[in-house]
Amino acid sequence: MKSWRQIRHATLFLAAFTSTVAFVSHLSGYPEIGPLKEKLRYFERFKDNYEIVFIGSSRVYRGVIPTVFDDQMSSHGLSVKSFNFAMAGMKAHEANALVRRVLAMKPARLAWIIVEAGDWDPVIHKENRFKGRGIFWHDAPETWSALGSTLLLDDSLATRADLLTTHGLHFAARWLAVGRGPDAARSLFVQDKEPATDPLIAEWQGFKPYTESSYKYNPLRKRFLQNLDKYREAVTRLQPTEASRTAEATPRRSYSRPYNRAAVRGQIAMVRQAGVLPVHLITPTPRATPELDRLAREGHFQAHLAFNRPRAYPKLFEVERRFDHEHLTHEGALLFTRLLATRFATEVVTNDSDAVD
Amino acid sequence: MLFTQPIFFVFFAIVLTVVWTSRQNHHRKAALLAASYVFYAAWDWRFLSLIVASTLVDYMAVNGMKQCRLETSRRRWLQLSLVFNLGMLGFFKYFNFFVGHRVLEIVLPVGISFFTFQTMSYTIDVYRRRLEPAENWLDFALFVGFFPQLVAGPIVRAAHFLPQLERSPSFSSIQTRRFLTLFLVGFVKKTCIADNVAPYVDQVFADPGIFTAASVWIAVTFYAVQIYCDFSGYTDMAIACAGLLGYDLGRNFRFPYLASDLTEFWRRWHISLSAWLRDYLYIPLGGSRGSRLWTYRNLLLTMLLGGLWHGAAWTFVAWGGLHGAGLVLHKEWTRRSAHLHRIRGTLAFKLLGTAMTFYFVCCAWIFFRAQSFGDAAVLLKAFVWLDTGGTVALDMHLFAALLTLGLLHWISSQARLERFLDRLSGGSFAAGYGMATALALAFVPMRSAPFIYFQF
């Protein structure tokens, strides 16, 4: 009798708990993570206008201008509309969760997702733990993937246990709607039915140009200008390997790991299943990417566009077109976008008649 | 390991299971001691040796006292205990302060101020023959290291705790509903209130000169809210954990911001420390047995040392001094206004007293929280004279949040809420608790700050 009562109480507790969590989650919507919420809101309204989306880190965010890309594509006789979903600091797992979210919106005309190729490293550094952004990409498939990658790391057992716990807690925090109360309360009590869209998103289609003050005060730019020799050295080091990229020097947690291959395969399968073609992009970074090159040679990518080639694209690596070591100035972004569109039109679209149809 | 972290819930679930499945009291206590040491070692295993050493020295000192007939020998054992505990506290907490500059990079062991005061009270009480020594080492070690109160109190007295260890509690006698509610209340105070107001406080106290007077008002009163919710939230959770394990830790807070004078405030705020300072410092100094001036001197000295107990900085001493001066003023006012006893009993007078006490306490908190006397002066000027050259303003809607929190403080002081909870059926309580837990989690900020009192 007593144990039945206890079971009844436990059931009532769980029912009330889960229904409250579900209610809070339902009300709170997408969290405020940089410009992403605005971008998602905007894209959701106009999703059926787009054929192409770009997803990746700040290298894509500050480097690919959708309006320029579309113009260049039309010069190749292809009429497309694209949107830049990239955001500073976005790594592979987060990008993949975003890919999943974009596909879930079922944009009617979406034909290609151009995603920055990166490392599927499951490590979350201590300073980045339990931030809204890290929590939100921990949906079930992505957490599962990150847990699998963690198990395959060759770090100590303690490090792996810590990472497994961290991913598990991020997942739990997401599904228990931890910290989402203020957003839920806002949606309940503040009339915000049709929020104004950031005019910059409509104007630049998700791309964000650097401001005047960024050119003057950005610490990364300052450091870059003070250490131009290092940059030039990095570019010079990159050139000899360009013609014959080998996979000899494979750094830790690289694509050559089984989990990385599995993750890329999973991403491609997911995108393909939605009737969209995934294209992996390496931006004009002055770093060699032997693992990605090897993966490309082995045919793991569906389509692959690499721009970290100073010999092939010398202008992209000229100091005047660099904002800093990793990023391009506006002029550099214009050039990169045109080059990207040209390669995309000639190498990808022509080989993908299905997608063009 | 914080009470608000998921790892603690796993740890506590294991401890509860082990404790309530142990058939013999001795095994329960051994399991609790092991768990307490694991809990402390999770902070920094190196400092576990300090607790063990403190336990051994005090146990040895008390046993030494027990075997001595001569008062002088007994006193020597007491001196050994005091020198060891105060020496340890002095070295880890005050070495650089008294030297005047940073000579050594000393890491402050968490909870050292709490467990040293707790063990000292034990040896002093035994020395004064007010307490029978612990039956065995296990009981004494558990009294010192009992994990719910180990790192931030309450400072439990041996006379209160040791007799509880002799009894074998039964699970059916535990007021589960009361302690589960208390834990959730503590959790909400700490994570949903203290941690959510902390960013506003940090912002203004980091650079007070640039903010408007209204913003300083918000920040200072928010700090009063933060420190209360942080510390009393921790205490609520500690009392609830101990209660679920079958032990009572006593009360540490009684709605202090509702006090209508400063003397009453100290009967409601950090009660275990106030009582400790009264019994082991104020009374031995002479208490109120001498002349009026002598009493005031004792009061001032006690509060100055109470301030220093909180941290090795002159701002803490100033905070203690302010409270000491306030208590002296209040005593003097009470003496001189004895003929006004009719007015003093009115509601209006009490409300005025509550407002004035809260205002004074807030002024004193400025010294407690400020990084330097310079910052404190800027904040005080803005808080008292509304004078500031700053232009940056916090959202004025935060005043509404303050009023809501004040109202909540008053509502929770009414016993009606407890009575309402008691009247609920088991099923309604379970459903309500489920809903309240989910809502509490929804208002936890993504990153929780450590408890403020852990640094003391």
Task: Kindly report the backbone phi and psi dihedral angles of residue B391, in degrees, each rounded to the nearest multiple of 5, phi listed first.
Answer: -120, -15
The average pLDDT across A300-325 equals 88
Report the residue count for chain B: 456
Instruction: Give me the amino acid identity at A64.
Output: V
Is the CB of B438 less than 8 angstroms away from the CB of A13?
no
Does residue B75 contact residue B82 with C-beta atoms inside 8 Å? Answer: no
Put simply, whether B435 touches A (Cβ < 8 Å) is yes
What is the mean pLDDT of the segment spanning A87-100?
A: 90
Instruction: Report the relative pairing of strands A277-282 and A112-116 from DSSP bridges.
Output: parallel
Q: Compare CB distances from B431 to A5, A12, A131 and report the shortest one's residue.
A: A12
> Going edge to edge, which strands form the sheet with A304-306?
A82-84, A52-55, A112-116, A277-282, A304-306
Give the mean pLDDT of A68-76: 92
Q: What is the pLDDT of residue B106?
A: 64
pLDDT score for B109 = 73
Q: With contacts defined as CB-CB under 8 Å, which chain A residues touch B426?
A: 5, 9
At residue A246, the pLDDT reads: 45
* B52-86 tens-digit pLDDT: 988 999 998 888 888 887 888 888 888 898 998 88
Helices (H), B5-111: 6-21, 25-44, 48-67, 71-89, 95-99
What's the rounded Cα separation, in Å, for the pair B338 and B288? 18
The residue-averaged pLDDT of A211-216 equals 84
- In this predicted structure, the answer to whether residue A242 has a pLDDT above a threshold of 60 is no
Q: Residue A278 forms beta bridges with which residues? A: A113
What pLDDT band is residue B337 in, cutting at 50, 70 and 90? confident
Q: Give the pLDDT confidence score for residue B137 in this predicted structure.
A: 87
B432 in A contact zone (CB under 8 Å): yes
Distance between CA atoms of residues B218 and A155, nearest Å: 48
User: Buried b / exposed e across B408-441, counting CB within 10 Å, b at 16+?
Assistant: ebeeeeeeeeeeeeeeeeeeebbbbbbbbbbbbb
Of the ranges A117-121, A325-329, B54-58, B259-263, which one carries the lowest mean pLDDT score?
Answer: A117-121
- Name the B residues in 332-371 with CB < 8 Å from any A CB: none
Q: Is B330 a catalytic residue?
A: no
Asked if A16 lies within 8 A of B6 by C-beta distance, the reply is no
Q: In the predicted model, what is the mean pLDDT of residues B117-126?
A: 90
Per-residue tokens: A259 = 């989990």
CB-based contacts of A11, cutoff 8 Å, min separation 6: none
The residue of B176, B443, B447, B448 whose CB has the most chain A CBs within 10 angstroms, and thus the best one to mutate to test that interface, is B443
Res A257: pLDDT: 62
Please tell me which of the candidates B427, B430, B446 has its beta carbon nearest to residue A131.
Answer: B446
Task: Report the gap between the CA of A278 and the closest CA in chain B (Å).
Answer: 33
Closest chain A residue to B192, measured at CA: A179
Residue-wise pLDDT tens digits, A178-203: 888 888 888 877 765 555 566 778 88
Dihedral sign from CA coordinates of B114, B120, B121, B126: positive
Helices assigned H by DSSP within B245-291 = 262-268, 271-277
pLDDT at residue number A356: 37
Average pLDDT of B152-156? 83
- Quote ipTM for the complex: 0.78
Whether B13 shows a pLDDT value over 80: the answer reads yes
Using the predicted structure, report yes or no on whether residue B165 has a pLDDT greater than 60.
yes
The 3-state DSSP composition of chain B as helix, strand, coil percent (nearest 5) reads: 75, 0, 25
| Mean per-residue pLDDT over chain B, rounded | 86
Burial class from Cβ neighbours inside 10 Å (0-12, 13-18, 19+) for residue A160 reads: middle
Residues facing A53 on adjacent strands: A83, A113
Interface check B433 vs A, CB under 8 A: yes
Q: Do A9 and B426 touch (CB under 8 A)?
A: yes
pLDDT tens, A317-351? 999 999 998 999 999 999 999 999 999 998 877 76
Using the Cβ of B425 and the Cβ atoms of chain A, whether some distance falls under 8 Å is answered with: no
Average pLDDT over residues A54-60: 93
Closest-CA distance of chain A to residue B162, Å = 33
How many whole angstroms separate alpha carbon B365 and alpha carbon B322?
Answer: 10
pLDDT band at B312 (very low <50, low <70, confident <90, very high): confident
What mean pLDDT is predicted for residues B359-365?
Answer: 94
DSSP code for B394: -
Rounded Cα distance, B221 and B209, in Å: 17
The residue in chain B having the minimum alpha-carbon distance to the alpha carbon of residue A178 is: B442
Least confident segment among A47-61, A126-140, B233-247: A126-140
Torsion-angle region of A34 (φ positive above 0: left; ψ -120 to 50: alpha; else: beta): left
Handedness of CA B427, B433, B439, B442 (dihedral sign): negative
How far is the alpha carbon of B280 from chain A, nearest alpha carbon, in Å? 43
CA-to-CA distance for B271 and B260, rounded, in angstroms? Answer: 16
Structure tokens at B290: 């001498």
User: Which residue did the predictor score with more confidence, B392 or B25?
Assistant: B25
Quick one: what percent of chain B has pLDDT higher than 90?
29
C-alpha–C-alpha distance, residues B334 and B407, integer Å? 29
Q: How far apart are CA B168 and CA B170, in angstroms?
A: 7
Of B431, B434, B444, the CB nearest to A178: B444
Give the A-side interface with B, CB within 8 Å.
Answer: 5, 8-10, 12-21, 24, 130-132, 135, 169, 172, 176-182, 184
pLDDT value for B325: 93
User: Mean pLDDT of all residues in chain A?
Assistant: 84
Question: Residue A112: in which H helix or E strand, if any?
Answer: strand A112-116
CA atoms within 13 A on the CB side of B146: 32
* Distance in angstroms (rounded) separating the CA atoms of residues B314 and A354: 76
Give pLDDT tens digits for A274-292: 999 999 999 999 888 877 7
Residue B120 has pLDDT above 50, yes or no: yes
Name the residue in chain B with its Cα closest to that of A4: B427
Catalytic residue among B101, B270, B310, B339: B310
pLDDT digits (tens, 9 = 90+) for A243-265: 555 444 444 444 456 677 888 88
**Which of helix, strand or coil describes residue A55?**
strand
Q: What is the pLDDT of residue A334?
A: 94
The mean pLDDT of B312-340, rounded to a whole number, is 88
pLDDT score, position B358:
93
Q: Are B123 and B78 in contact (CB under 8 A)?
A: yes
Q: What is the pLDDT of residue A253?
A: 44
B271: left (phi over 0), alpha (psi -120 to 50) or beta: alpha
The distance of B243 to chain A (nearest Cα, Å) reads 20
